[in-house]
A and B are shown apart, each in its own frame.
Chain A
């Protein structure tokens, strides 16, 4: 086609066209292009525009009115969750508990595994929430400190307690009271995530590692100790080791804990601060001992009998991942029904058997034993009383504290 058209043009026209492209007045010389784009840039970069784009203050939302909720008209909901956080059939094609929910209620669940990291996920949804827009998600699952922040900023919807009979009755006492969501008005836990000390017995030559002090001081572990980039786990465990309660500590306590860790960095005792990637290092023995999440430990132990864990005498920190309904979500009622569904004992047991994290549902043991008696006995899934007694949670932080503490922690880990 191009060929045909070129042939139709006279030689003169062709020449003119070439000239206009290369050296005519309309020629696209670099200079003229720069001139045009420079003018554009000046116009766009004008001070007025610059000051035009701020971030509006967080909007307080006190439980949206029911009229905003589209649940009755639209039998559906969108659920954003972490990967590997839902029971899946052996062929990986179906999710039994979710499908049973749809069958029973007629509510279609659009399930997406788009959360990999709390801070990144917040970075993703923050602009929409700040602008008062729907994120397209009716239910999200985030770690407690982020849930606390979202609630604090007024970006979560209040849940209707009348739709949560099972959740209210079965939530285990360990997770019932949290200072950032009194009475669980906005959130319900999906899992508990104990932070414990894990070690590779082969790499420590059979030596047991069971305290943060040992992690920080034992010369035989030098350069082979890992801590987590999750501030609340690393600092919380250190606070406990210093005899402070992560549930109520002061600025001075925080500084003391960070100072203690800094010493470990300075004398090269600590090899790295890691996210989830510590698991491969620990399995290989490059990291001999580290702070670890209980769920990972169970999985690592299944592949490698050398991986052991210890609960420090000083106690340990348990974080939770929590379900909440973001502001402006269209299907709050459907989402609330789903939360309640996962607090029914058989459903909770089915989920716990698959994902191997602490189940926040009280009395799930008998149901879990029907599926797998071994799992029901594992204190990392159903904590026994001794273990539950040692569990602590990190207190909620004000906005200023959060910024100051994260800043100090970022310095510690080098960024």
Chain B
């Protein structure tokens, strides 16, 4: 967000003095914010408070749940399910890195080299959103099917031997393994990486590249010193938009994974809907939220930008 300074204007006679803004005017911005704030209060703050309350309750459906300030739920949940937390962060982190590696060149191409193909390519990036998340994920079950062409090729070139040795795949199959889950995550969140990258790359004035060339910078140096720093807002918001939802996702782990690939989203879902342990489910959600918040804060501090897109 850039703040434009108001151009200096000479005060007209009879105009209100600047230092005494009428109350009604001062309230204008808040009035404008009201719909958004109300929306957030009803659909974000209230559920959040409700969940916070649930997380310190004890009880059962029969006897009802009462707030007993039972904070031990948090510790129990964390010590019980830390492997799933770590796995979620690992999978989401890997998927984010892969998205960046795949998305950056593509966004670069669309922004600078695509010419008249630019709009078409952008539509293609967004096109998967025209089908449902579930269908897209299920499609990967066909793509990665045992003995299907993809798995055959990967097996023939020895790729599966390596991943199998690393514990990412299981013998000669990809489905129901960590690799399948990370692949699904990467695929599903790729557009969230590409679009912010594209917007920030597209804003870069091509003349800067020419100027760098004029100053005898090699293309690699131009990229490192000009393009990359200027596209950092895109990188940051792209990684956030990918990492945050990916770490809470459970659909990919459910459909493409197996028992040893369950992520924290699966645990929350199962605690909430199957086991009916609402306090644990709520506590897990809060822990996940805290972890993501801390991770993101540290990341933004280090990436040194507050300028998101």
Q: Which residues of A contact B (CB under 8 A)?
A: 10-28, 33, 37, 41, 44-45, 49-58, 119-120, 122-123, 126, 130, 149, 152-153, 223-224, 231, 265, 268, 270-273, 277, 280-281, 284-286, 399-400, 402-403, 406-407, 409-410, 412-415
The answer to whether residues A122 and B273 also contact, given A16-B15, A281-B141 and a CB cut-off of 8 A, is: yes
Q: Which of B288-308 contact A (CB under 8 A)?
A: none
Q: Determine whether the beta carbon of A277 is less than 8 Å from that of B170.
A: no
Q: Determine whether the beta carbon of A12 is less than 8 Å from that of B15.
A: yes
- Chain B residue contacts of A33, Cβ below 8 A: 33
B126-148 CB mask vs A (1 if < 8 Å, else 0) is: 00000000000010011001110
**Interchain nearest-CB distance for B37 vs A (Å):** 8
Main secondary structure of the interface of B (DSSP, over half): mixed
Main secondary structure of the interface of A (DSSP, over half): helix
- New contact pairs (15) apart from A26-B21, A54-B57, A286-B145, CB-CB < 8 Å: A15-B6, A15-B11, A15-B18, A24-B18, A26-B26, A53-B49, A53-B67, A54-B64, A55-B61, A57-B64, A277-B255, A284-B142, A286-B146, A414-B258, A415-B266
Q: Which of B12-58 contact A (CB under 8 A)?
A: 12, 14-16, 18, 21, 25-30, 33, 37, 41, 45, 49-50, 52-54, 56-57
Measured CA separation A284–B176 after assembly (Å)? 15
Q: Which residues of B contact A (CB under 8 A)?
A: 3-6, 9-12, 14-16, 18, 21, 25-30, 33, 37, 41, 45, 49-50, 52-54, 56-57, 59-67, 69, 84, 138, 141-142, 145-147, 170-171, 173, 175-176, 255, 257-262, 266-267, 269-278
**Interchain nearest-CB distance for A120 vs B (Å):** 6
**Interchain nearest-CB distance for A54 vs B (Å):** 5
Q: Determine whether the beta carbon of B176 is less than 8 Å from that of A272.
A: yes
The answer to whether residues A44 and B53 also contact, given A10-B12, A55-B64 and a CB cut-off of 8 A, is: no
Measured CA separation A365–B199 after assembly (Å)? 66
- Chain B residue contacts of A273, Cβ below 8 A: 259
**Interchain nearest-CB distance for A255 vs B (Å):** 17
Contact for A25 among B11, B21, B259, CB less than 8 A: B21
Measured CA separation A126–B281 after assembly (Å)? 16
Contact for B259 among A23, A41, A53, A270, CB less than 8 A: A270
| Nearest opposing residue in chain A for B5, CB measure | A22
| Nearest opposing residue in chain A for B4, CB measure | A22
The answer to whether residues A13 and B16 also contact, given A50-B56, A414-B259 and a CB cut-off of 8 A, is: yes
Q: Determine whether the beta carbon of A44 is less than 8 Å from that of B25.
A: no
Q: Determine whether the beta carbon of B29 is less than 8 Å from that of A28.
A: yes
- Chain A residue contacts of B145, Cβ below 8 A: 284, 286
- Chain A residue contacts of B262, Cβ below 8 A: 413-415
| Nearest opposing residue in chain A for B306, CB measure | A30
- Chain A residue contacts of B63, Cβ below 8 A: 57
